């Protein structure tokens, strides 16, 4: 905790000072982010770091393995879907991004088996990503590459699920909203973007 508080003090000394006017404007005028990003909770794959953004530019929802559940307004607790609704319908972001990453722990557990201490919530949550594993295996992926391929496939799966939300599909259809898929390489810092043909190319 001391390390975090030291970071806060550095922020007050420099980061806050440098962004004071911007933050005050955001407080008084409200936020108008240019993109909503669904990213993984992994501490090594911070969207604000990857895209080098300033406060107010991104509306971010993070969860295990950057997954989006299908549209299902059943009255249960849906944190990711609630963030999507707020970002798309209230803030009216023009861009919606799914960003996966290398060495995803959730994907690794899905491929290799879940630790005993990650079975209450992580294992059931990752069940929605099983179609990604099925697709990777159906493509004849060697076992030692399954993690990597599934990381790409989960991005595609989340984009597919995003399009089950009627107010996302409608906005994409009329051009108010663009959907994008990315995968970030932790080891090399390379960001790859999903192409129309289903491949990923380095930005």
- Each domain of the chain, given as residue ranges in start order, spans 1-30, 31-202
Q: pTM higher than 0.75 for the full model? A: yes
| Per-residue pLDDT reduced to its tens digit, 78-98 | 999 999 999 999 999 999 999
Top pLDDT among 107 and 17 is at 107
* Strand stretches in 27-72, DSSP E: 35-40, 58-63
| Per-residue pLDDT reduced to its tens digit, 126-166 | 999 999 999 999 999 999 999 999 999 999 999 999 999 99
Tell me which DSSP letter residue 56 carries: T
127 vs 118: CA distance, rounded Å? 13
Could you tell me the sign of the dihedral formed by the alpha carbons of 149, 60, 162, 32, in that order? negative
62 vs 46: CA distance, rounded Å? 9
98 vs 166: CA distance, rounded Å? 18
Reply yes or no on domain 31-202 having CATH 2.60.260.20: no
111 vs 65: CA distance, rounded Å? 13
Residue-level pLDDT at 16: 83
């Amino acid at each position: 905790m001391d390390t975090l508080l030291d970071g806060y003090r550095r922020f007050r000394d420099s980061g806050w000072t440098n962004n004071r006017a911007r933050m005050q404007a955001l407080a008084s005028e409200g936020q108008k982010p240019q993109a909503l990003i669904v990213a993984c909770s992994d501490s090594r794959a911070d969207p604000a770091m990857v895209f080098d953004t300033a406060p107010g530019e991104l509306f971010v929802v993070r969860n295990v393995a950057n997954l989006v559940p299908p549209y299902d307004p059943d009255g249960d607790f849906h944190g990711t879907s609630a963030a999507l609704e707020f970002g798309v319908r209230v803030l009216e972001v023009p861009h919606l991004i799914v960003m996966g990453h290398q060495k995803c722990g959730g994907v690794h557990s899905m491929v290799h088996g879940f630790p005993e201490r990650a079975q209450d919530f992580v294992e059931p949550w990752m069940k929605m990503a099983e179609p990604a594993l099925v697709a990777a295996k159906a493509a004849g992926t060697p076992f030692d590459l399954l993690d990597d391929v599934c990381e790409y496939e989960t991005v595609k799966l989340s984009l597919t699920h995003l399009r089950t939300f009627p107010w996302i599909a409608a906005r994409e259809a009329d051009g108010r909203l663009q959907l994008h898929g990315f995968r970030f390489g932790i080891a090399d810092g390379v960001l790859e973007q999903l192409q129309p043909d289903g491949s990923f190319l380095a930005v």
